């Protein structure tokens, strides 16, 4: 009876090997998606790791940390370099790493929000056209020096436009 249940729910030895191979490949090729949060990414990798351990393949803590750091997008590279230089990754816990990455994620989100609020003034110059050429406008971007991001309100930004 036990053998029948095991075969039904776990599959044959060949099925286990194929699952293990597929999961090992998923783990090897794992990458964080550009718009994904650290928590979501960690949940996805944890699911793969749990399934691998269920099938008998385990990795040590350093392997998980190294995999997570390598799976981060390019914009995270300065943080990854800083972590590798300042921390002993062999003694760092997975939870501590996730905490550090979440803090950096919040900082990145604040930077992105600050960039979206930045006002831009445009200078437009009319270039004399010839009969054979079409009308063109030359546009140059200049920064607004008289108004800092924090002190300008929305009405001032709209009036600049």
pLDDT tens, position by position, 6-54: 666 666 778 888 889 999 999 999 999 988 999 999 999 999 999 999 8
99-105, Cβ contacts within 8 angstroms, sequence gap of 24 or more: 101/38, 101/68, 101/72, 101/76, 102/38, 102/39, 104/76, 104/79, 105/37, 105/38
Q: Is the pLDDT of residue 139 over 60?
A: no
Same domain for 104 and 134, yes or no, is no
Same domain for 66 and 125, yes or no, is no
Same domain for 87 and 73, yes or no, is yes
pLDDT tens, position by position, 65-81: 999 999 999 989 999 99
- The domain containing residue 136 runs over which residues? 119-160
pTM: 0.60
Q: Is the pLDDT of residue 122 over 50?
A: yes
* pLDDT value at residue 39: 94
* pLDDT value at residue 7: 64
């Amino acid at each position: 009876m036990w053998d029948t249940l095991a075969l039904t729910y776990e599959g044959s030895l060949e099925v286990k090997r194929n699952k293990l191979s597929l999961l090992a490949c998923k783990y090897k090729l794992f990458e964080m998606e550009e718009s994904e949060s650290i928590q979501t990414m960690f949940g996805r990798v944890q699911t793969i790791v749990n399934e691998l351990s269920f099938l008998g393949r385990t990795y040590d803590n350093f392997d998980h940390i190294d995999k997570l750091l390598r799976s981060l997008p390019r914009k995270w590279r300065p943080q990854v370099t800083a972590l590798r230089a300042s921390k002993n990754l062999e003694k760092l816990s997975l939870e501590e790493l996730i905490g550090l990455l979440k803090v950096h994620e919040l900082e990145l989100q604040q930077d992105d929000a600050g960039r979206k609020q930045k006002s831009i003034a445009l200078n437009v110059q009319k270039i004399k056209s010839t009969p054979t050429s079409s009308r063109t406008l030359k546009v140059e971007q200049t920064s607004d020096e008289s108004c800092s991001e924090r002190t300008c309100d929305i009405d001032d930004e709209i009036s600049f436009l």
